[in-house]
Chain A
């Protein structure tokens, strides 16, 4: 649909969040708890941390939680009763105050779970998610969205994008039908507006490389020793993958208690040795460098080819979270220039 341009006062924004809550929707927004800002359920806007450049973890857990029940089962004397998850019971969720990169992250994630065959559980959560993002006024040394086709005022992935025009006023772009339904239900809060040039209102983030160049370079780099050099200080944890808005890899695990059991889907990471280890002991990706290479190739070569979609949105979370300062933008720049 064509973007609808509106203006929202800060006071109207406060009312909007309260009304969304009152309508039975669960509103999640960045909240600073003990020095770490994460997406948490909020009742009102006062709880929100507007200043945060990027939450520590992405908003992906709203549709792809760290542990997701796939089914329950109950063992009886001579049978097993399997109970599906009731996906109709999933709540309507609003992701509020996400950054444009967070919103963009849902696109590759959705491509993983719904291309070819549809993961109904993921889709049900995604269908019930509305994303109201806020453009970035500032960025830090880890941000590189402009190098991966994004931007601090980019609309892709968001249902509504808010951009601060003054401390009391937000420019609201209503982007999708989901966004429009929120507008329609709260029409009195929104004022009409012309198209606003967001450039002076958002952060300046220098472009370091283009995804196309990376994609092109990767065609001949598989056997390069660059992976050994880059991955040397990688400790092999899964922090990068778990905080990434676009990483969708998972494990499936059963747990039982007495005769009752549950099958879970849990986050998993290509950085772990166990990820690809065969029962025989053979491991196709034995070295950490091979696993690092897989991470880069998956996001910048395989996903673009399979899904016409890069698997990175330039939020920089992986680099912020890395215990050994593996900086993905720096490594990609190195690849682009190499």
Chain B
């Protein structure tokens, strides 16, 4: 008899690998078992544990949109043991995935509102899921603005999709690179994300802001949003902490009484302000 085991991953085949930036890759993964594929569903904001058998597991968000069926994608930068091993894999190789875990971006509640996405560096992947999700349901939302920055032009991820968003009349895309990170033919802005955001200065009226980025970017972005008139309830972000289990048992990802894996990773600024600064 087949026993269930909450630690057992789905078996996934790497269908496609995209080189996004130096050390950054995107994997498109397909379920090897059709029944798994049929049973599986997730919502934007959720994450999973990706594993290489023999190396271990690593936590990423699902970077593709739930509206794109039949596969999931993850984007990662080589850093630790598992991501380095992942980076050495080829198309056709097998990895494990378990999930989805965590809460979601409440996009149903955002109907009829303007959306402002603010992302930095390798934090675009969690945002990309919700961006595509919203673009695939474009009629539900009013203006969509994306402010995305990276250290240098090379470090911008999803370059082909940035182009696609730039060309779309129903999206306003602002890209920026840190001073010194520009190339001679760079046409975007030069400056840090919070600064560029205050220049672009989108209206906070009827607008939801979604912020993903390194802690330092987030820290300086919140005051800008506040100055623009965003209320804490209308600002969303995702937290990342070291995780092992993904479902509130292994004990390490908690910020105060909440587990990032179970109660997060999506939090409003209101919720964030009630938590101790342990992230």
Contact = CB atoms under 8 A, between A and B. Distances in A.
Whether the complex brings A and B within 8 Å at their CB atoms is answered yes
Interface string B234-270: 0000001110110111111111110000100000000
**Most chain B CB atoms below 10 A, which of A78, A117, A222:** A117
Contacts of B276: 222
Interface in B69-122: 79-80, 83, 94, 96
A250 B248 CA distance: 11
A80 B247 contact: no
Contacts of B2: 84
B252 A73 contact: no
B185 interface: no
Interface string A226-243: 000000000000000000
A116 B262 contact: yes
Interface stretch (B48-56, B162-170, B171-179): B48-56
A117 B2 CA distance: 18
Given A248-B251, A254-B55, A275-B242, A79 B79 contact: no
Nearest to A87: B3
Interface residues of A, number: 54
Contacts of A80: 11, 53, 94, 96
Contact of B54 (A88, A256, A284): A256
Nearest to A76: B94
Contacts of B34: none
Given A71-B5, A116-B262, A268-B251, A252 B245 contact: yes
Interface in B54-70: 54-57
Nearest to A284: B278
B40 interface: no
B254 A252 contact: no
Interface string A38-82: 000000000000000000000000000000001101010011101
A79 B54 CA distance: 13
Contact of A73 (B53, B244, B245, B253): B53
Contact of A284 (B8, B94, B241, B248): B241
Contacts of B8: 71, 82, 84
Nearest to B257: A302
Contact of B3 (A120, A254, A268): A120
A336 interface: no
B7 A71 contact: yes
B22 interface: no
A265 B5 CA distance: 13
A301 interface: yes
B223 interface: no
Nearest to B247: A117
B4 interface: yes
B154 to A, nearest CB: 19
Given A87-B3, A118-B6, A254 B248 contact: no
A78 B79 CA distance: 26
A290 interface: yes
A75 B242 contact: no
A279 B94 contact: no
B229 interface: no
Interface string A244-284: 00001111111110000101010010100001111110101
Interface in A118-156: 118-121
B215 interface: yes
B7 to A, nearest CB: 4
Contacts of A71: 5, 7-8
A312 B18 CA distance: 49
30 contacts: A71-B8, A80-B96, A82-B9, A84-B2, A84-B5, A85-B3, A87-B3, A112-B251, A115-B248, A116-B248, A117-B247, A222-B256, A248-B249, A249-B251, A250-B244, A252-B56, A254-B51, A254-B53, A263-B7, A268-B244, A268-B250, A276-B242, A276-B253, A278-B241, A279-B79, A284-B278, A294-B254, A294-B278, A302-B254, A305-B257
Q: Which 4 A-B pairs have the closest CB atoms?
A: A249-B251, A256-B54, A302-B257, A284-B278
